[in-house]
Amino acid sequence: MTTMKSPAIQVQNLRKVYTVSEQEAGTMAALGSLVRRRKVEVAAVDGISFDLAAGEIVGFLGPNGAGKTTTLKMLSGVLHPTSGDATVLGYVPSKREKSFLRQITLVMGQRNQLVWDIPALHSFELNRAIYRIPQEDYRRMLDELTALLELGPLLHKPVRNLSLGERMKCEIAAALLHRPSVVFLDEPTIGLDVTMQRRIRGFITEYNRRFGATVLLTSHYMADVEALCKRVVVIHHGKLLFDGDLSILVQKFTAHKTIEVQIGDCQADLNAYGEVVSCSDGHFTLRVPKAETARVTERLLADLPVIDLLVEDPPIEEVIELVFAQGNP
Amino acid sequence: MKALAELYAQQFKTTMAAMFQYRASLFIWMIGQVLEPLVYLIVWTIVSNSSGGSVGSYTTKEFAAYFIVLMLVNQITYTWIMYEFEYRVREGILSFALLKPVHPIHSDIADNVSSKLITLPIMIVIAVGLAVAFHASISPPLWAIGVFIPSLLLAFLVRFLLEWTLAQAAFWTTRVSAINQTYFVLLLFLSGQIAPLALLPHPVQIAAAILPFRWLISFPVEILLGQHTPAQALMGLGAQVAWLIVSIVLVRVVWRAGLRVYSAVGA
C-alpha cells in the first residue's frame, strides 16, 4: 500500500447552497407562483473540513439529507461548491479536468450507468474507449475484476436480466475499469442481501489493498462501516459532527454500556441493577451508566445465580442514532 | 483524434447491440418516418392531379420526388435528443456523463450516426419502392449531387447542434414539452416538411430562410431536385456554414450556463 505525504483529499470550509423554489399548496398559490416564484436557499453542506490520506478508507456517515451525496458530488466534480475549497489529488474537482476525471470514480448505489438492454460487457468496452484504457491494461483489469467479483456468467447477460446484487457488482466493475486511485462510493450496498453486502465489502477492502486507492464511502449499514472503516466522518444538517476513529466515536457519544447476563429464566426483576432492555430465555440485556458498570457487574455476580455475563459497548447502530439525535437542534 | 475515433467505433457497437434489442420499436419508429411524408405526398398528388397535373412550379412527379428525397433527408438529419435530455437531467443520468473525461455530445453524435447507418439501407429500399410507385422524376445535374452531400452533412450537424442546444432547456425548466412542441410545429412548416417552401407565401419563405429551418431539411432536397444554379447552391452552403458556426457557439455557451444551473439546483 502506498502512503504519500500530501493528503489525497482536502476539504476546507466546503459549502453548497441549493436554490429551491417553494410553492404553497392550493390553486391561488399555484397561480401566484406563475408570476413570482419564492426562492429559498438551503445549505445542504454547511462549511465542512476534513482531509483523507492516500490509501485511507473512511466512512462518511449521516442521516438522509445530511449532505453526504452532495459532498461526494462536489468532490467528483459533478457539482460546483458555493464556497470553500476542495482538492482531490491536487486537482480542483469542479474544473473537471480530463486528467482528474480519469483518476476518480463515483459509484451511486441507487443509480445505474450501465446500458440497460445489453450485456454489461458492452458498457465496459465503451468505458474502455471513453477512458482510453490501453487494450492490455483493460484485459488485465477486467480479468481481475471478474475474478474478484465473480462476474464470469454475468457479463454476457443483458443488464435488465440481472438481479440487483449482480447488477451492482457490474456497476462497480464498470466504475473501476480505469483503475481510479480515488473512489467515492455512495451507498454501494443499498438493497443488497447480507451475503452480497459482505462480498462487496470484501471487494472494497481488496481493491484498496491492491491498488492503494483512497476510498470515501457512505452507507446506512453499520456493518459496512465497522468492517471497512477505522475512521469515520459524521455530518448532520450539512455540518461536521465528528471526525476520528470509530472506537472513539463510540466512547464519546455513549454514556452507557450493555450488560448481557444469563440466569435461569426471566422471572427475576433486575430493574434494581439497571434498565432492562429485553429478556428472552433467561437472557437479560441491561443498560447501565458507563461509570457504574463495574459496580453493577459485581452486584449481579454476588446476588444472582449468573450462568454467563458479558459487558459490551452498545451496538454501533444505537451509537449512530444517538449521534444523530444530538445533532438535531 | 484517434481516441475519439475509437470512442465513436465503440459507441457504434453499443448502439448496434442495443438496437437489436429494440427491433420492434425501431421498426415502428421507421414506419413513422415513412408515413408522415407519405401522407403529404398523397395529399399533394391528389391536389396536383385535380388541378391539372401541377401546383405552382411543381408537377405531380416532382411532388413525388420532393417528398421522397425529403423523407431521406429528414431520416438522416433528425435527432431524438430533445425528448431524451429532460429525462437525463431529471433522473440524474447526466451526473454519470459529467464524471466521464469526454464531452457527452460525442456519445450522442456517435449514437445518432450509428442508428442512422443501420436504418439507412432499409430507408433507401423504401424510397426506391415509393419512387417507382409514384413515378417520381428526378434528374439532378452531376454537380448538384456533389453539392448535395456536403449540404446534407451540414444540415445534419446544424440540426443536431441546434436541437442539442434546445434540449438543454431542461436545465432551466421541468416542462420542456411546450418548447419542444413549438419547435416542432415551426420545423414542420418552415423546413418544407408539410409543403415545398416555394409554394408557401413569400413572407413565410423569407422567415424560413432567415431562421435556420430551411437549411435543416429543405435546402439539401432543393439541391438534389436540381432547383438551384451553382451560384445559389454555393450561397446556400455559405448560409449553412454560418449557421454551423452560430450553433457551435450556442451549444458551448448554453452548455456552460446550463451546467451552472444544474449544479445550483442539485443533480
The pLDDT, as a whole number, for residue B137 is 81
Taking CB atoms and an 8 Å limit, are B100 and A130 in contact across chains?
yes
The pLDDT, as a whole number, for residue A3 is 46
Residues of A in contact with B263 (CB under 8 A): 78-80
From A16, which residue of chain B is nearest by alpha-carbon distance? B264
From B13, which residue of chain A is nearest by alpha-carbon distance? A122
More confident residue, A162 or A324: A162
Chain centroid to Cα B200, Å, comes to: 21
The pLDDT, as a whole number, for residue A35 is 67
Running DSSP on this structure, what letter comes out for residue A188?
A: T
**Across residues A199-218, what is the average pLDDT?**
94
**Across residues B96-105, what is the average pLDDT?**
93
Residues of B in contact with A158 (CB under 8 A): 21
Q: Is the pLDDT of residue A19 over 60?
A: yes
Taking CB atoms and an 8 Å limit, are B92 and A106 in contact across chains?
no
Measure CB to CB from residue B96 to each of A102, A113, A118 and give the nearest one. A113
The pLDDT, as a whole number, for residue A281 is 85
Q: Is the pLDDT of residue B229 over 60?
A: yes
DSSP string, B220-248: HHHHHTT-S-HHHHHHHHHHHHHHHHHHH
Q: Is the pLDDT of residue A34 over 90?
A: no
Nearest Cα of chain A lies from the Cα of B228 at a distance, in angstroms, of 43
pTM across the whole model: 0.85
**Across residues A195-210, what is the average pLDDT?**
92
Indicate the burial class of B184 (C-beta count within 10 angstroms; 0-12, 13-18, 19 or more). exposed
Confidence of residue B26 (pLDDT cuts 50, 70, 90): confident
Model pLDDT for residues B64-91, shown as the tens digit of each residue? 999 999 999 999 999 999 989 988 888 8
Buried b (16+ CB within 10 A) or exposed e, B49-82: eeeeeebeebebbbbbbbbbbbbbbbbbbbbebb
For A123, half-sphere exposure in the C-beta direction (CA atoms, 13 angstrom radius) is 24
The pLDDT, as a whole number, for residue A1 is 44
Indicate the burial class of A195 (C-beta count within 10 angstroms; 0-12, 13-18, 19 or more). exposed
Structural domains in chain A?
9-250 (3.40.50.300), 255-312 (3.30.70.980)
More confident residue, A118 or A27: A118
Measure CB to CB from residue B92 to each of A77, A99, A111 and give the nearest one. A111
Confidence of residue B233 (pLDDT cuts 50, 70, 90): very high
For A175, half-sphere exposure in the C-beta direction (CA atoms, 13 angstrom radius) is 28
Q: Is the pLDDT of residue A329 over 50?
A: no
Question: Residue A107's beta-bridge partner residues?
Answer: A185
**pLDDT over 90, % of chain B:** 69
Model pLDDT for residues A37-51, shown as the tens digit of each residue? 677 888 999 999 999
Measure CB to CB from residue A19 to each of B96, B101, B264 and give the nearest one. B264
Model pLDDT for residues A262-282, shown as the tens digit of each residue? 888 888 888 888 888 888 888
Nearest Cα of chain B lies from the Cα of A218 at a distance, in angstroms, of 18
More confident residue, B136 or A323: B136
Are A213 and A220 within 8 A, CB to CB? no
The pLDDT, as a whole number, for residue A64 is 84
Measure CB to CB from residue B10 to each of A76, A80, A129 and give the nearest one. A129
| Helix/strand/coil percent split, chain B, to 5 | 80, 0, 15
Mutate to test the interface with B, among A15, A75, A126 (most CBs of B within 10 A): A126
**Across residues B35-41, what is the average pLDDT?**
92
